[in-house]
A and B are shown apart, each in its own frame.
Chain A
Amino acid sequence: MTLSVTVEFHGVPAIPIKSKKLIFSCEQIKKATVEEVIKKLLIIEPQLDGKVIDSDKNLLLSSYLGNINGDKFIEGNLDEMKDGDSLIVIPRMAGG
């Protein structure tokens, strides 16, 4: 079983990486926590370390916020992601 997940970057986090969407697969699992997705993401895009991701904690940096599929904002990294889900990474501050 392969879990295919999309990570999208919008606004500020999209600027350090030129691509807006990264699609990658986690093999041999049906679902993964956000932490596992972030670990995998760091392997594929190591330049995100310190810019978008805190690699010590496997969390988004506190400047950023994650949302799954546009439906649910996550706090921490224990939320589960399923095959076909999108992790949307946006700036934490919504104002303006």
Chain B
Amino acid sequence: MNGYHGKVLVIDLGEKSWRHVAIPENILRSYIGGTGLSAWLLYQLCPEGADPLGPDNPLIFSTSPLVDTKLTTSSKFAVTSKSPLTGYIGDSMSSSKIAVSMKRTGCDAVVLKGQASNWTYLVVSDHNVDFRSAEDLVGLNSSDTESKLRQMLEPGVSVACIGPAGESLVRYSTISNDGGRQAGRTGTGAVMGSKNLKAIVFEGNKKVGISDNKSLDAIRVDLIEKSLGSATTKYRETGTIANASVFDRLGSLPSNNFKNASFKDLSQITAENIYQETTVRSVHCANCTIGCEKLITDPGTGSEVRLEYQSLFALGPLVGSGDRSILLESAKYCDEVGLDTVSAGATIAWYFECIDKGFLKDEFVHSSNKILDILRAIVSRKGIGDLLAEGTKFASATVKRGSSDFAMHVKGLEMPGYEPRTLKTMALALAVSTRGACHNRSSAYEYDFSSVTDRFKADTEKGDLVAKGEDYSAVMDSMIWCKFVRKVFSDFYVESAEILATVTGWDIDAEELEACGERINNLKKMFNMREGWVRMDDTLPHRVLNESLEDGNSLSKEELNLMIDAYYRARNWNKDGTIPFKTLKRLNIDQVPDVVVS
């Protein structure tokens, strides 16, 4: 088989055992890799009703057929599990050399089951899995954990690890790799922590075959050229932080816990200002020509801080802070301890509002200066930090007193930096996404920031747009392409099918590839339905549906339901959002086999 090893490595941490299990080729062709393959594995391996932080919840790392092809932006992997924030499917992606190292251990995915009796790290090679004590690593932040493991082992090994946040089971903790990159959303770091697994080291030399190397070389050169063109200018020039002033001008930048859609104190933290007043360095993932990652030198501390738009939004406007020093320090801290900046910022914004309303005793005052102290309390779970470590859904359910009305999450996952009342396609996407308030699994914002649709209008055309966007994103996240090359393709499905055929030798075409996207999204929905999903889960926070913005823009529950109905129709689902048998049959997922790996 070309492009794949055709195997999954299954590791049982409780029993300290491992084995390889073959994956049928038809499954690989149906779910491709990345989030698609891992969704299939999760559906097989996660027992119904499993505790997300219990030993039965599998933690799945998956690569893709494009990993190790040296195609630009293809060095990516997905981490999937039942999310401790939502109780539904949770997946997250990260990038760089570790994806190649993981694949060279001779498998397409690694499944971690059970729970180690003591803190453990794994050394996974192409012929062995070694279980080692991690007692000396406990408490270390992510970069120190990586450094120490490289010192102890080999300088070139790749490491995925959790920081102190994952050890403390903060429900929105991340898994870190390659010097601070994060599989950030849905709390996979807490799942890893629940297994007493501090780190995984990958070192291998097994390469997969490529069906047509000569053609792939030509594709590689062509993609490099295109990736340096106008389709990626923003990512190369300033990275995603350019969004801040754009979204602010267009009334789409949520601030002050989504009370407002622009931010009066933004000036210090725009890309324009940061580029004028600080030093910024571009960094590339392995095999990437774009270099979207920007390391900003904090003038206060002299240290370099990785900053992208979502972190800027969440630790800045969302919490009501326009202080650049506090933003940079907080973002750096979150990366080091392994906290999802979006959920962390949203939880602090909720806490500030609880203080303002007198719902919680003022252990901290509502002040930007306290953000870092609150983050530290969350990671150590000291005082109020213990409650805030649970995220807004659980914390507001504990506090009650109407605090859930301003807990800004969907299904438990905190909202990203897109204002749904002025971006109506995005509003629908946030409401129906299987992983909660997610901006990455639909690309719906693309439609709102274009002439394709009226972003202020809640209409039925949004249903089709979101369904198409989700399927397209599912293929991107399964191939796996970085989202930032999406516009270099003239015809995404045709060109991606051609590339997949070149790597694997399959006679796959655009139509079949598009159907993979639809199949993956339906399977994710099936997982959620098995875990108790009901239509009322597809909604938006109370504040969004009941409070107008200062410019009068609003979104009513009726308007959202109109769009949700249209989305279900576009998906060929029932009115209640469940999936009819004929849709499953058309997508060949009517007979999802029972557990294949026991």
Please list the residues of chain A having a beta carbon within 8 angstroms of any beta carbon in chain B. Answer: 8, 10-12, 14-15, 20, 61-63, 65, 67, 70-75, 88, 90-96
Contact = CB atoms under 8 A, between A and B. Distances in A.
A54 to B, nearest CB: 10
A12 B242 contact: yes
B581 interface: no
Contact of B446 (A10, A71, A75, A95): A95
Given A10-B246, A67-B250, A91 B233 contact: yes
Contacts of A88: 249-250
Interface string B438-454: 00000101101111000
B230 A20 contact: no
A12 B240 contact: no
A71 B241 CA distance: 22
Given A10-B249, A12-B237, A70-B249, A94 B243 contact: yes
B250 A95 contact: no
A56 B275 CA distance: 30
Contact of B484 (A61, A63, A95): A95
B230 A63 contact: yes
Contacts of B246: 10-11, 90-91, 94
Contacts, number: 91
29 contacts: A10-B242, A11-B244, A11-B245, A11-B272, A12-B237, A12-B242, A12-B271, A15-B272, A61-B233, A62-B230, A63-B233, A65-B450, A73-B450, A74-B451, A90-B246, A90-B449, A91-B242, A93-B231, A93-B232, A93-B233, A93-B234, A93-B484, A93-B487, A94-B246, A94-B446, A95-B240, A96-B308, A96-B309, A96-B310
A12 B443 contact: no
Contacts of B487: 92-93
B95 to A, nearest CB: 14
A15 B250 contact: no
Contacts of B251: 70
A83 to B, nearest CB: 20
A14 to B, nearest CB: 5
B533 interface: no
A70 B250 contact: yes
A75 B484 CA distance: 21
A63 B246 CA distance: 14
Contacts of B330: none
Contacts of B394: none
Given A94-B445, A96-B241, 19 more contacts: A10-B245, A11-B234, A11-B238, A11-B242, A11-B246, A12-B238, A12-B242, A15-B238, A62-B230, A62-B231, A63-B231, A72-B451, A90-B250, A90-B449, A91-B242, A92-B230, A92-B234, A94-B446, A95-B445
Q: Which of A71, A75, A93, A96 has most B Cβ within 10 Å? A: A96
Interface string B478-499: 0000011011000000000000
B237 to A, nearest CB: 5
A95 B483 CA distance: 8
B275 A63 contact: no
Nearest to B426: A94
Contact of B230 (A8, A61, A74, A94): A61
Contacts of B309: 96
B235 interface: yes
Nearest to A61: B230
A4 B333 CA distance: 47
A33 B248 CA distance: 26
Contacts of B483: 95
Contact of B249 (A8, A15, A65, A75): A8
B54 to A, nearest CB: 34
A65 B243 contact: no
Interface string B516-559: 00000000000000000000000000000000000000000000
